Amino acid sequence: MELRRPSQLSEEEKKAILQKIFQKDPTAFTADPEKQKLIGNRLGWIDTPLTMRSALEEIKAFAEEVKEHFDYVVHCGMGGSSLFPLALTRIFSPEPGYPRLLVLDTTDPEEIEQIERECNVKRTLFIVASKSGTTVETNAHFQYFWERVAQEVEEPGGHFVAITDPDSPLHKLGEERKFRRIFLNPPDVGGRYAALTYVGLVPAALMGLAIEKFLDAAEEMLATCSPDIPWEYNPAAWLSEYMAEHFFRGQDKLTIMADPILRPFTLWIEQLVAESLGKEFTGIIPIVGESPGSPTVYGPDRIFVYLGLRGRQDLYQRLFADLKDARFPLRTYWLEDRYELGAECVRWELAVALTGIWLNLNPFDEPDVIKAKQKTKEVLENFKNTGEFPLEFFLDEDLNVGFLYSAPLKVQYPRLRAVVKKFFFDLSPWGYIAFLPYLPYDPEVEELFIDLRTLIRGRRQCSTILGFGPRYLHSTGQLFKGGPRSGRFFIFTRKGRREDQMIPGFGYTFWDLQFAQAYGDFQALEESERAVIHIHMQENYKEDLKRFYQFMEEITRLSEF
């Protein structure tokens, strides 16, 4: 298929494409018979607002059972298995009498310790969520906490729940270990399209939320997006056309802003867009989590989308006016209440699928994610054989940090200042920079990176991304390695206590796994011919980050270029 601008298609042609999607017909996406087979097994999301209704009573009954026995629920998952539940924990509070929900989607040792400190394992239920049942981080979480629970109770299986595909290794493990419950997700729904399946509905119900309201809103949006609705009144169709038409004009930075209450949901949108539309050296680049700025700090490659709640319109009114005056494209979507997130899931899923058609991309695969997984596996195998990681950092004596850099940043002498100056000197006007820390989800750490993003944007009019590792490997990681070559990357790790938190059956600790994932992705990015710098900090990494900010403030002054 060729690229197809929706504005150049007739109403009948666009309606026919939408009709095929609603009929789960893979020929809407490709004429290749082999690809059609694969895509045909990924179209179940289109009617999940309808098909999941039959599971509501089962889920709600399970939630009532859980509240009688548990004070905490820890949801272990990565990417599509965790980002919607994570958004729920930050947008809603548990209803009175229901357990507190915590989402564990990292291998960071401090985050693991935090779970152990906060949760009495005797009163904690662990959800193990993985479509394939083979996700390394999630399996590590399970093995580690299974051992902790087994030390405290006679029947540890009663403290575990699985959400997975039928016949996956996790399904079989759950049966062998006698999990309290196994929820089998529709196998024709991919991870990042699974928010309205058991993946999102079970955690929501365990918080005491009215899960039928999510499906009510989703079903209403689905009806509004049906092929029977004229194209100009179809919310998902218009969003797809907005993204695609501006992409064809060179505006590939989709900047998603939101009311502070809804901002956590943008991480779910970021994953959906990046992993679905960032491949084959092209794609749309989602930008979330930036501090709002004046129009002067944004480059001409930007378009904007805003998600707001009714009654709070004044919060960004001045910014909207300034962006419109500067002729930046802007679309605003207003939710009546937080349960309308169910409708937004439908709008964005359908819009992204349609945009894949306009860009001639398969929105349901992630062909480049495997690169980092393979590299991580190689690093860990070497570590288990030798007890060492196969690398040696250069030392920057001014900042007292180690560093590595990829071939595109080759300099005559390995000095961090020279490497970073080349990093910025070669940066194209339409490029973006991603900061990728393998660090805890600490508000102070996040604020330091927000300051870095604001600094870079102000100095270079450059789009920036923040992705905590290893979370980003399951969200924006596909875009970084398979999308446009305009990205440049900083990976951050820190010295750790390697003797702590041994993962049963793995032969290494969570720190070892996290570091291997960081170095593995450095290698994957380098092999993809991306410009990447790996900064390795000391144990007092917050102070190192503060010094790094001062270093970046100095080196990015316009006089340096």
Residue 171 near residue 32, CB atoms below 8 Å: no
Hey, what are 310's tokens? 């009714």
Average pLDDT (201-213) is: 98
User: pLDDT tens for residues 436-464?
Assistant: 999 999 999 999 999 999 999 999 889 99
Indicate whether 451 and 394 sit together in one domain.
Answer: yes
Structure tokens at 438: 């393998």
CB 161 within 8 A of CB 128: yes
pLDDT at 48 over 90: yes
pLDDT by residue (tens digit) across 232-255?
999 999 999 999 999 999 999 999
Closest by alpha carbon to 87, among 98, 101, 74? 101
Neighbours of 421 (CB within 10 A): 17
Report CA torsion sign: 298, 302, 303, 304: negative
Q: Is the pLDDT score of 1 beyond 70?
A: no
In a domain, 364, yes or no: no
Q: Which of 257, 253, 522 is nearest to 404 (CA)?
A: 522
Q: Are residues 507 and 425 in the same domain?
A: yes
Integer angstrom CA distances of residue 485 from 90, 260, 282: 33, 32, 8
| Segment 79-135, tens digit of pLDDT | 999 999 999 999 999 999 999 999 999 999 999 999 999 999 999 999 999 999 999
Q: Same domain for 496 and 389?
A: yes
Residue 1 lies in a domain: no
Same domain, 417 and 555: yes
**Which of 356-370, 404-418, 490-504 has the weakest average pLDDT?**
490-504
Residues 167, 69, single domain; the answer is yes
- Cβ atoms of 39 and 364 within 8 Å: the answer is yes
Inter-residue contact 536 to 399 (CB < 8 Å): no
- The residue from 358, 389, 423 where one domain ends is 358
Quote the pTM value: 0.97
Predicted pLDDT of residue 143: 98
Higher pLDDT pick, 271 / 389: 271
Nearest to 84 by CA among 180, 173, 203, 2: 203
- Check whether residue 538 and residue 415 sit in a common domain: yes
Rounded to an integer, the average pLDDT of 170-191 is: 98
pLDDT at 188 over 70: yes
Asked which of 181, 209, 237 is the last residue of a domain, the reply is 209
Give the residue-averaged pLDDT of 300-308.
96
β partners of residue 72:
100, 124
Is 363 among the domain residues? no
Q: What is the mean pLDDT of residues 291-303?
A: 95
Same domain, 198 and 271: no
Are residues 534 and 397 located together in one domain of the fold? Answer: yes
Which residues in 400-500 belong to E strands, given as ranges? 401-405, 432-437, 463-466, 487-494
Indicate the helix (H) or strand (E) that contains 335: strand 330-335
Q: Which of 399, 404, 392, 410 is nearest to 521 (CA)?
A: 404
- Identify the residue whose tokens are 């393979």: 374
386-393 mean pLDDT = 89
Sign (positive or negative) of CA dihedral 178, 181, 187, 190: negative
CATH number assigned to the domain comprising residue 493: 3.40.50.10490
Sheet strands side by side (includes 72-76): 100-104, 72-76, 124-129, 160-164, 181-184
Domain-terminating residue out of 209, 226, 248: 209
Identify the domain containing residue 61 by its residue range.
Answer: 47-209
> How confident is residue 2, by pLDDT bands cut at 50, 70 and 90?
low
Q: Can the peptide bond before residue 470 be classed as cis, meaning omega within 30 degrees of 0?
A: yes
Residue 114: inside a domain = yes
- Alpha-carbon distance of 165 to 41, in angstroms, equals 13
pLDDT of 313 strictly over 80: no
| Whether residue 469 is found in the same domain as residue 500 | yes
**33 and 51 part of one domain:** no
Structural domain count of the chain: 3
Nearest to 42 by CA among 344, 349, 271, 348: 349
- State the burial class of residue 164 (Cβ atoms within 10 Å of its Cβ: 0-12, 13-18, 19+): buried
Percent of the chain with pLDDT over 70: 98
Residue 87 and residue 264 in contact, taking contact as beta carbons nearer than 8 Å: yes
Asked if residue 509 and residue 465 are part of one domain, the reply reads: yes
Q: Same domain for 205 and 79?
A: yes
What DSSP line would sit under 22-76, residue for residue?
Answer: HTT-GGGT-S-HHHHHHHHTT-GGGGHHHHGGGGHHHHHHHHHHHHTT-SEEEEE
Q: What is the mean pLDDT of the chain?
A: 95
Query: What dihedral angle (degrees, nearest 10) is formed by the CA atoms of 227, 228, 233, 237?
Result: 0
Q: Outline where DSSP puts E strands in 148-228.
A: 160-164, 181-184
Q: pLDDT band at residue 559, thresholds of 50, 70 and 90?
A: very low
527-542 residue pLDDT tens: 999 999 999 999 999 9
354 CA to centre of own chain: 20
Whether residue 411 has pLDDT greater than 70 = yes
